[in-house]
Structure 1
């Protein structure tokens, strides 16, 4: 795909690591100096409320604007950064996100060229997340590490990554479906997940009382339930914007989950590597497309799923190239300054165009999964090719 003289530089792991590091430092400095780090405060400052036994889910304008919606466990974890000076905590937080994403991408493919190209193709969406100090690069990295660890029979590590993803954002548990495809690891995976899940769930007791612990978890439950009423960049948001269909979110999500699970009828192919890769891509897209609360920085997750599919299976269908162009133009570049703000505000935002390519990509991957016995030979024929 790239001339050899360019690929030796652009697809060099050190070069890509330097690009990620330099951009993270620049983005961190830019937002710290401008004072636009409210999202970081939302993540970090609840640690101090946790220490004081306060309800994490009330408004604390002395710390940040908006409300905290993450788990008590996440608030405890963020104490590592909260106790540092703001500039250092923000830099450490963004670097952690970058390291987890980079290392997952580095191990995602059997050859270095594809690994580095994957990381370059998701870079713009990663930067959108970094600009907002979000946890999405960390989350997608952990979800990919679940798959990587299962492939390498590291069941306990896969379970730990799964539980960490869950306590960052609840829908991170979706990648746990992959355990079904590794029957020799399934029982151990469930046991390890339960062990790590309980340890993480009760970890706030290290710094708070039992009564405060129960109160804080009740607050988390209440705010998650209340937040579920909004509709943003999702299939439900697109239906509302395009067709004025204010459909109940529950039935749409249930129908999507049914479609996601339907290919499991091909149980004889669960151990097939192409089947597993398709499912990884489908899950990464599903958890955002059917999440009514999805925002622009969240799209590093489905874009990573799409790029994983495209890197392996772009030759499986002539639709791959136009779909790649749609993802680049409508999903990735729509969050950058290359798109005039007037166009974004008058067209892209009202009509939820950012989510459209992801819906189309998910539908295509689901078709390949549903008809996997018929697609298998074609998928096998293109999956092994190098990125020439």
Structure 2
């Protein structure tokens, strides 16, 4: 632990505490990954994304097999609008800009959080390893994290119209951002938020009709999308690279494919919703931020679609928890923070011998273990601890 402390002290140098430094590292690694993937010809995820737009324009199914790539698309049809500017470019340029755009979006979202400058620098660095993992496979999960964070930020800033925008757009692309609705009770403009959600649902549902064969095609693609997600859910059950979640941990260790995931999801939801009963805590900023941390972990822990590249979402949640926890057990929190960084960040990298990854880490879903402990810690703190002592100076909006 002393060696790790020395490393952390090294990164405490003022050079690494500058936003420009973090920004450079975040962007340059994305560009480097794009160049490497282009040179070796391994960028199937980007190919899947790229062809969503031309396939939508041509009226082809977005969820079947296509000769341009292997595997299937699992994003909603409105994603075709997001990927359109990149898909018309040469692959090398389109992928560089794609990874960069996702990275910039998340960087911006974290920058908007109601935290201090140094706290945000901490989050940037803490999530950096998982950011690189997502960048390396051109994943949209980077933006999924941004959608969830911005839904919280906009509600905090009483910009419910834009909160609804990111919630609905994110949901119609990849379901996960629907959790932004969990911040509904923190809104001071609940009616506006509801009406805005209806407005943006109509807008984003209709937009693809402008460049595709029409309404019937768009509706058919939503039907196909939900069917594809059901198929993917079944295929993920025992997949080594999928279902890297609490659900997957229990499923893979038990080897039982018969029981319903609801046996785990319902208790999880109960633990998640109990803190909502503590209405008097709503006025404390760190309590609200703790709910954001809770959500960022929940979507990974209780989804069969969780994969290594999605852990960028959860690790931001871990960092926010550490910054906002009112617990007096500082050593416990610190040790859990470090253990989580090591296990989550390194367990699925080339730094771990392949026989350990294939024989132990993946079958036993080791990557998720510390996240489960962090999430249970968050639930405990939100249910039992008083946040007034954490940030009394920030308790009122």
Using the size of structure 1 for normalisation, the TM-score is 0.92
Residue 384 of structure 2 is aligned to residue 371 of structure 1: yes
Aligned to 2:59: 53
Cα deviation for residue 109 of structure 1 reads 4.4
Residue 306 of structure 2 is aligned to residue 300 of structure 1: no
**2:356 aligns with one of 339, 343, 353:** 343
**1:153 aligns with one of 158, 165, 168:** 158
Superposition map of 1:74-93 within 5 A: 74-93=79-98
Equivalent-residue separation in structure 2 for 1:82 and 1:5 (angstroms): 38
Residue 365 of structure 2 is aligned to residue 352 of structure 1: yes
Superposition map of 1:310-321 within 5 A: 310-313=322-325, 316-317=328-329, 318-321=331-334
With over 3 angstroms needed to count, the CA separation of the structure-2 counterparts of 1:36 and 1:64, relative to structure 1, is same
Aligned to 1:32: 38
Equivalent-residue separation in structure 1 for 2:269 and 2:170 (angstroms): 19
With over 3 angstroms needed to count, the CA separation of the structure-2 counterparts of 1:109 and 1:333, relative to structure 1, is farther
Equivalent-residue separation in structure 2 for 1:110 and 1:255 (angstroms): 31
**2:19 aligns with one of 13, 16, 25:** 13
Aligned to 2:207: 203
Equivalent-residue separation in structure 2 for 1:213 and 1:107 (angstroms): 34
Aligned to 2:169: 164
Aligned to 2:247: 236
Equivalent-residue separation in structure 1 for 2:389 and 2:252 (angstroms): 37
Aligned to 1:138: 143
**2:181 aligns with one of 166, 176, 180:** 176
Aligned to 1:322: 335
Cα deviation for residue 43 of structure 1 reads 1.1
Using the TM superposition, name which of 202-211 and 86-95 deviates more. 202-211
Aligned to 1:216: 221
Cα deviation for residue 378 of structure 1 reads 5.2
With over 3 angstroms needed to count, the CA separation of the structure-2 counterparts of 1:166 and 1:314, relative to structure 1, is same
With over 3 angstroms needed to count, the CA separation of the structure-2 counterparts of 1:378 and 1:346, relative to structure 1, is farther
SS in 1 for 2:297: helix
Q: Gaps spanning 5+ residues in structure 2: where?
A: 238-242
Alpha carbons 2:326, 2:389 under 8 Å: kept: no
Aligned to 1:186: 190
Q: Gaps spanning 5+ residues in structure 1: where?
A: none
Equivalent-residue separation in structure 2 for 1:63 and 1:371 (angstroms): 53
Equivalent-residue separation in structure 2 for 1:202 and 1:256 (angstroms): 35
Using the size of structure 2 for normalisation, the TM-score is 0.90
**CA RMSD of superposed structures (Å):** 2.2
Using the TM superposition, name which of 207-216 and 298-307 deviates more. 207-216
Cα deviation for residue 362 of structure 1 reads 0.7
Alpha carbons 1:155, 1:189 under 8 Å: kept: yes
Cα deviation for residue 293 of structure 1 reads 1.5
Aligned to 2:347: 334
With over 3 angstroms needed to count, the CA separation of the structure-2 counterparts of 1:226 and 1:6, relative to structure 1, is closer
Aligned to 2:119: 114
**1:100 aligns with one of 84, 101, 105:** 105
Superposition map of 1:270-289 within 5 A: 270-289=282-301
Deviations 1:50-87 (A, max 9, x none): 01111111100x21100111100012321111111111
